[in-house]
């Protein structure tokens, strides 16, 4: 039963039970109205509203968005609660989020256990609180605190919620007994029906300048996103309009959000993130192996960042470096990174010290004898990795998982060095490893099912979004990045400047443009990798000649103060450098290219089409399991804007036929074979099928 009701002496108790997170499905909304009517009519003197399971209501049923609304709507449910003739007390545990917290705000009183949290994360779905949250919260805590909470979407702990005035009491578990006692206390003192709707927004922080400043701040912080701006409008309405008019305004804004492409994209990413760690066809009996201790090989930027991921999750780490100097540098870098986090106020000094102490250094492989998982993060050379895995195979205990952090090398070849290929897997982190959420889990031919299950589970445990990839050059993300990077180089030599190219992509919503990314990573990395390739493997010389020329001039990017841009030695602020245009023009003339003006649309299109076409090839080869996996990989690993949904979602929104036609036009324009539409795309278009149809057929 989704919603049940019982009379406990003089208190009515409404209980919601809709696993996994008590989402406010249509059935739950109906059940709440029915239970409330029952409570209104019986002898109860007050009503407690609580939930079974791990959390109070965590929001509206996201999967219902985009479908015809079914009465009662959530605002109707909330109006019924707030209009009750008896005090209704919300009893919160877990995370009372979104519509769930809006239900609680409609109650007359709110209590919570100490480890509960409350929040309005709708903005992360391209939405806004559509059931009174933007009207009730500013009445309770003022405009500034309300906008901070709603525009960030971040949850607030019970203690902070109490301090702000969002809840009235923090109680000790068991919650039901504590809530009943609190209800009786309220009844005994003759507590009034305190309705938030009757409160007024305090005027002192509700000036026009205040709201204008919020619009500017959010326009920068959440560039390109519509929902944050609408949130400001709703909170401003709360400070200007009577409650019911404000509520109607909020509802209008909310409905427009639910119909927006940005929200569809963000909801797609929400579910895709949760699907990605599920390995299709995995033996259901495959249980994750317990991971209590982890070893990391290599204390460089990646190794140190990976070590921090595990320490941050409370897992002890043994960090191995070849010699004491290397180890000291690695541990010092970790200490420096924790110091930066503390200085930013994101971590207490005490917690940073606790986590750092979980990372122990060694130069002796024998110290890895008891680890359950070891991750190699050494130099990207197959020879070096083969040596490391041979040693690991000797020293690690049976059943230990041996993982490589390689970003493109053949994990099958690495596995073959060991006598335990079934225990070898790729765990590809993205730099900075303790920040970027993507984790590519690379399945080699012999990787055992329970090793995959372990990789997915430990990936989630350390806060990553794990995505399964099969072995190929560059797996999912880097394979797509090569196509994207090629277009940046060709657009440049054909006529566009670095700032025009980067501007086109950041205007679309990318966190950084491809050339600024190149400068950040270091142009010498690609240069060195190209030295190992044959001319045929390198591809069109026009796709790397500028980068090579810059590196040969000593312009390596940010690390050398100049690359495609010039960088301030102190602040690293980026500025256009006329010298780069001379290099571009010299290379264009050397390669017989007569430069022309390129529109930003063409620049953007070529980059996006390059990503999409490679994505279709990756799907067809089975390198990625789902289109959504590719979207998650590119959003969380490469800064693709989540409110555009990822490359494959973007293609579906644009229309597969339109994508196919655009690719054919590019192929005619350039004569390049790589613009040939991927066979899977051609097939779907000719059969009038969508990617969802294809996925449904496959499984
Ligand atoms: N609707 C539907 N399914 C949901 C859901 C939701 N709101 N929240 C979670 N799930 C599913 C999820 O897909 C997964 O399914 C399972 O629950 C466990 O989730 C009107 C309009 C609550 C903090 O944005 O933040 O209310 O994969 O893996 O890590 O103003 O889920 O098992 O099949 O994330 O423990 C606002 C979204 C909605 C909260 C738990 N609420 N959820 O995290 O588990 S809009 C949210 C979360 C709204 C109103 C507006 C997290 C969590 P499966 P999980 P978790």
* Model pLDDT for residues 574-604, shown as the tens digit of each residue: 999 999 999 999 999 999 999 999 999 999 9
User: How many CB atoms are closer than 10 A to CB 552?
Assistant: 10
Please count the residues of the chain. Answer: 699
Nearest CA to ligand 1 atom 40: 21
For the sheet with 88-92, list strands across it: 3-8, 11-16, 46-51, 88-92, 109-113, 169-171
Confidence class of residue 698 from pLDDT cuts 50, 70 and 90? confident
DSSP 120: -
Residues linked to residue 442 through DSSP beta bridges, in sequence order: 426, 469
State residue 579's pLDDT score. Answer: 96
Q: Which atom of ligand 1 is nearest to the CA of 74?
A: 20
**What is the pLDDT, as a whole number, of residue 202?**
87
CA distance readout (Å), 648 to 269, 474, 559, 595: 11, 18, 34, 32
Q: Is 321 among the catalytic positions?
A: no
Tokens of 12: 């009515």
Ligand 1, atom 30, residue with closest C-alpha? 129
Helices (H), 344-448: 349-357, 382-395, 411-415
pLDDT at 477 over 80: yes
Q: What beta strand segments (E) does 418-502 contain? A: 424-429, 438-443, 465-470
Q: Is the CB of 59 under 6 A from ligand 1?
A: yes
- Position 532 confidence tier, pLDDT thresholds 50, 70, 90: confident
pTM for the complete prediction?
0.94
Q: Is 416's pLDDT higher than 80?
A: yes
| Domains annotated on the chain, with CATH | 3-258 (3.90.226.10), 294-474 (3.40.50.720), 478-698 (1.10.1040.50)
Give the pair of three-digit tokens for residue 510.
């990318």
The whole-number pLDDT of residue 69 equals 87
Say which residues have a Cβ less than 8 Å from residue 699's Cβ, sequence separation at least 6.
280
Do the Cβ atoms of 100 and 63 come closer than 8 Å? Answer: no
Does ligand 1 have an atom closer than 6 angstroms to the CB of 97? yes
3-class SS of residue 659: helix
Distance between CA atoms of residues 491 and 91, nearest Å: 59
pLDDT band for position 81 (cuts 50, 70, 90): very high
CA 531/CA 548 separation, integer angstroms: 10
Residue 538 pLDDT grade (very low, low, confident, very high; cuts 50, 70, 90) = confident
Q: What mean pLDDT is predicted for residues 24-44?
A: 97
Q: CA-based Rg of the chain, rounded to a whole angstrom?
A: 28
Whole-angstrom distance, CA of residue 680 vs CA of residue 699: 16
- The interaxial angle of helices 99-106 and 74-82, nearest 10 deg, is 20
Contact by Cβ (8 Å): 243, 227? no
In the numeric block, which tokens belong to residue 465? 């979004």
205 pLDDT higher than 90: no
Q: What is the pLDDT of residues 255-279, one digit of tens each?
A: 999 999 999 999 999 999 999 999 9
Residue 132, CA distances (Å) to 99, 103, 229 in order: 9, 9, 17
Query: Which residues are CB-neighbours of 461 under 8 A, at least 6 positions away?
Result: 291, 313, 315
Specify the pLDDT at position 640: 96
Name the strand (E) or helix (H) holding 90. strand 88-92
Round to whole Å and give the CA distance between 512 and 565: 13
The residue nearest atom 16 of ligand 1, judged by CA position, is 20
Summary mean pLDDT of the chain:
96
- 487 a catalytic residue: no
How far apart are the CA of 463 and the centre of ligand 1, in A? 16
Among residues 61, 64, 122, 579, which one is catalytic?
A: 122
Count of C-beta atoms within a 10 Å radius of residue 47: 27
Name the band, by pLDDT with cuts 50, 70 and 90, for residue 208. very high
Closest CA to 546 of 582, 587, 597: 587
Q: Which atom of ligand 1 is nearest to the CA of 153?
A: 24
Question: What are the tens digits of pLDDT across the range 123-180?
Answer: 999 999 999 999 999 999 999 999 999 999 999 999 999 999 999 999 999 999 999 9
> Own/partner pairs for 274-277, CB < 8 Å, 24+ apart?
275/626, 275/628, 275/629, 276/465, 276/466, 276/467, 276/468, 276/625, 276/626, 276/628, 276/629, 276/632, 277/456, 277/457, 277/459, 277/460, 277/465, 277/466, 277/467
- Say what the pLDDT of residue 542 is: 96
Residue 176 tokens, joined = 């039901």
Ligand 1 atom nearest the C-alpha of 97 is: 41
Q: Between 687 and 521, whose confidence is greater?
A: 687
* Contact (Cβ atoms closer than 8 angstroms) between residue 302 and residue 333: no
Q: How confident is the model at residue 73 (pLDDT cuts 50, 70, 90)?
A: very high
The verdict on ipTM greater than 0.85 is yes
Catalytic residue, candidates 52, 61, 76, 102: 102
Residue 204 has pLDDT above 90, yes or no: no
Name the percent of the chain lying above pLDDT 70.
100
Which ligand 1 atom sits closest to the C-alpha of 270? 13
C-alpha–C-alpha distance, residues 345 and 208, integer Å:
30
With residue 582 as reference, give the H or E element that holds it. Answer: helix 578-590
Q: What is the pLDDT of residues 603-641, one digit of tens each?
A: 999 999 999 999 999 999 999 999 999 999 999 999 999
Instruction: Band the pLDDT of 531: cuts 50, 70, 90.
Output: confident
Q: Rounded distance, CA 135 to CA 145, Å?
A: 13
pLDDT over threshold 90, residue 445:
yes
pLDDT of 342 over the 90 cut: yes
* pLDDT tens digits, 307-322: 999 999 999 999 999 9
DSSP state of 16: E
Dist. CA 416 → ligand 1 center (Å): 41
State mean pLDDT over 526-546.
90
Measure 58 CA to ligand 1 centroid, in angstroms: 6
| Closest residue by CA, ligand 1 atom 28 | 274
* 3-state SS class at 405: coil
Give the closest residue (by CA) to ligand 1 atom 38: 59
**Phi, psi angles (nearest 5°) of residue 296:** -125, 130
Mean pLDDT in residue range 464-492: 96
What confidence tier does 420 reach under pLDDT thresholds 50, 70, 90?
Answer: very high
Query: Which residue do the tokens 């003192």 mark?
Result: 189
**Average pLDDT of span 75-90:** 97
Tally: H helices and E strands in the chain? 30, 19
Question: Is 127 near ligand 1, meaning CB less than 6 Å away?
Answer: yes
Q: Which tens digits make up the pLDDT trace of 497-510?
A: 999 999 999 999 99
Tokens at residue 504, please? 């086109």
């Amino acid at each position: 039963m989704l919603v049940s009701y019982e009379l406990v002496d003089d208190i009515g108790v409404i209980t919601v039970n809709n696993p996994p997170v008590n989402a406010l499905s249509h059935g739950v909304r109906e059940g709440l109205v029915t239970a409330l009517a029952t409570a209104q009519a019986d002898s109860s003197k007050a009503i407690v509203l609580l939930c079974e399971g791990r959390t109070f209501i965590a929001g509206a049923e996201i999967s219902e968005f985009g479908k015809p609304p079914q009465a009662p709507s959530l605002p109707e449910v909330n109006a019924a609660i707030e209009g009750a003739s008896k005090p209704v007390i919300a009893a919160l545990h877990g995370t009372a989020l979104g519509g769930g917290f809006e239900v609680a705000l409609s109650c007359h009183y709110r209590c919570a256990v100490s480890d509960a949290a409350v929040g309005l994360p709708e903005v992360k779905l391209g939405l806004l609180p559509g059931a009174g949250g933007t009207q009730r919260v500013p009445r309770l805590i003022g405009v500034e605190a309300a906008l901070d909470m709603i525009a960030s979407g971040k949850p607030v702990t019970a203690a902070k919620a109490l301090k702000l005035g969002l809840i009235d009491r923090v109680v000790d578990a068991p919650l039901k007994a504590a809530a009943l006692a609190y209800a009786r206390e309220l009844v005994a003192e003759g507590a009034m029906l305190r309705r938030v709707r009757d409160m007024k927004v305090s005027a002192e922080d509700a000036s026009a300048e205040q709201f204008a400043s919020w619009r500017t701040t959010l326009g920068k912080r959440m560039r390109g996103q519509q929902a944050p701006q609408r949130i400001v409008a709703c909170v401003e309405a709360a400070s200007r309009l009577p409650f019911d008019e404000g509520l109607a305004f909020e509802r209008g804004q909310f409905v427009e959000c639910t119909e927006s492409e940005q929200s569809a994209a963000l909801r797609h990413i929400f579910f895709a993130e949760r699907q990605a760690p599920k390995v299709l066809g995995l033996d259901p009996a495959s249980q994750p192996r317990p991971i209590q201790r982890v070893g990391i090989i290599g204390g460089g930027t990646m190794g140190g960042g990976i070590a921090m991921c595990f320490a941050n999750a409370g897992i002890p780490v043994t960090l191995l470096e070849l010699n004491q100097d290397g180890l000291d540098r690695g541990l010092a870098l970790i200490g420096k990174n924790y110091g930066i986090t503390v200085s930013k106020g994101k971590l207490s000094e005490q917690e940073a010290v606790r986590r750092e102490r979980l990372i122990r250094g060694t130069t002796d492989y024998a110290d890895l004898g008891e680890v359950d998982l070891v991750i190699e993060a050494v130099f990207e050379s197959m020879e070096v990795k083969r040596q490391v895995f041979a040693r690991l195979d000797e020293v690690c205990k049976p059943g230990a998982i041996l993982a490589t952090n390689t970003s493109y090398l053949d994990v099958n070849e690495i596995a073959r060095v060991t006598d335990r290929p079934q225990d070898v897997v790729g765990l590809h982190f993205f730099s900075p490893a303790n920040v970027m959420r993507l984790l590519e889990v690379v399945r080699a031919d012999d990787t055992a099912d329970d090793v995959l299950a372990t990789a997915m589970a430990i990936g989630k445990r350390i806060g990553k979004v794990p995505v399964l990839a099969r072995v190929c050059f560059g797996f999912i993300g880097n394979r797509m990045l090569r196509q994207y990077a090629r277009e940046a180089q060709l657009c440049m030599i054909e006529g566009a400047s670095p700032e025009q190219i980067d501007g086109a992509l950041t205007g679309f919503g990318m966190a950084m443009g491809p050339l600024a990314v190149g400068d950040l990573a270091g142009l010498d990395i690609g240069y060195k990798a190209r030295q190992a390739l044959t001319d045929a493997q390198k591809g069109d010389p026009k796709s790397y000649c500028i980068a090579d020329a810059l590196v040969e001039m000593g312009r390596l990017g940010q690390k050398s103060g100049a690359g495609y841009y010039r960088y301030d030695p102190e602040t690293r602020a980026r500025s256009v450098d006329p010298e780069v245009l001379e290099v571009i023009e010299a290379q264009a003339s050397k390669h017989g290219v007569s430069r022309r003006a390129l529109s930003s649309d063409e620049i953007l299109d070529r980059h996006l089409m390059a990503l999409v076409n490679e994505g279709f090839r990756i799907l067809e080869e089975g390198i990625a399991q789902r289109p959504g996996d590719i979207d998650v990989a590119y959003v969380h690993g490469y800064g693709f804007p989540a409110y555009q949904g990822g490359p494959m979602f973007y293609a579906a929104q644009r229309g597969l036929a339109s994508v196919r036609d655009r690719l054919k036009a590019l192929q005619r324009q350039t004569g390049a074979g790589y613009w040939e539409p991927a066979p899977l795309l051609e097939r779907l278009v000719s059969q009038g099928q969508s990617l969802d149809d294809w996925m449904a057929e496959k499984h």
